[in-house]
Structure 1
Amino acid sequence: MAEDLSELPPILRRIAEACGLGVALQLGDQFGGIPVYIPKEAAEDCVLVRAIGAEAVAKMIKEFNSGHLEIPLGPFGNRKRVWRAIRQNLREGRSNTKTARAVGVHQRTVSRHRGRVDDDLPLFDRVSKDD
């Protein structure tokens, strides 16, 4: 079964198609938001080779040629990480206050997310355990 790459930004999608989804996700995690240099040859001391291996770099050279390529954040953007952490804390039953402290956001941000999380919960699970 083919992997669904539709959620990825176009550059990460191309990397996933050429090198595999694991390589695309690893690049997004390590280099998301900054440009990386694709060398003309995959040398051992190359940052990309150390990160994803010579075989994957060779595939990237074939797909993109040599030069700078800005790796998008994709699913690794800070906002998405924060939102996932908020939802996880709320699903675990933590209060808005405790969630805000744990994640490092304003309590109002947590309140806005609580409405979305509550829609996914059974009726009697919608009240947090430590409020």
Structure 2
Amino acid sequence: MDVHDLKQIDISQLPASLQALIDCIGLECAYHMTCRYGGRPKYIPKHARRTSLALILPPDALARLIQRYAGAALEIPKVDHFERQLRNLQIKQATEQGCSRSILADRYGLSLRQIGNIRRQALSA
């Protein structure tokens, strides 16, 4: 996934914990954190030099993260939240281009029912 894909994400549809992380460090940095640490807790130290987060976050984002969460162990959401939303957008776009449910089910490894549910959600949004 590249930065262009992330611009399609509807942040309001993400879990509150992920929205708070995005609010603190930005969408791209939050995405990188979910890729690296998603699904497990990550301790946020009081000093930037004491963390491996400096390898994936720019200094300003790391400083904001430390300012807000220093001394806490954050439960980092899984990257699945981003990937699922982008997958559903791709299914919606393919549907608009006339792609059938069975082709989409095969392409994305989903059941026909799941494709139908995603299509219905896209229509009601």
Asked if 1:31 corresponds to 2:37, the answer is yes
Q: Which structure: greater helix fraction?
A: 2
CA contact (8 A) 1:36 1:71 kept: yes
- Of the three residues 54, 71, 74, the one matched with 1:69 is 74
The equivalent of 1:9 in structure 2 is 15
1:52-93 deviation line (CA, Å, top 9, x unaligned): 123312221110112421122488255434433332322232
Larger Rg: 1
Q: TM-score, normalised by structure 1?
A: 0.63
Higher relative contact order (CA 8 A, sep 6+): 2
Which residues of 2 match residues 1-131 of structure 1 at below 5 A?
A: 6-43=12-49, 46-73=51-78, 76=81, 79-117=84-122
Q: Is the 8 A contact 1:85 1:103 kept in 2?
A: no
Identity of aligned residues (%): 28
Q: Which runs of 5+ in 1 are unaligned?
A: 121-131
Letter in 1 for 2:57: I
1:35–1:88 distance in 2 versus 1, CA, 3 Å: farther
Alignment RMSD: 3.3
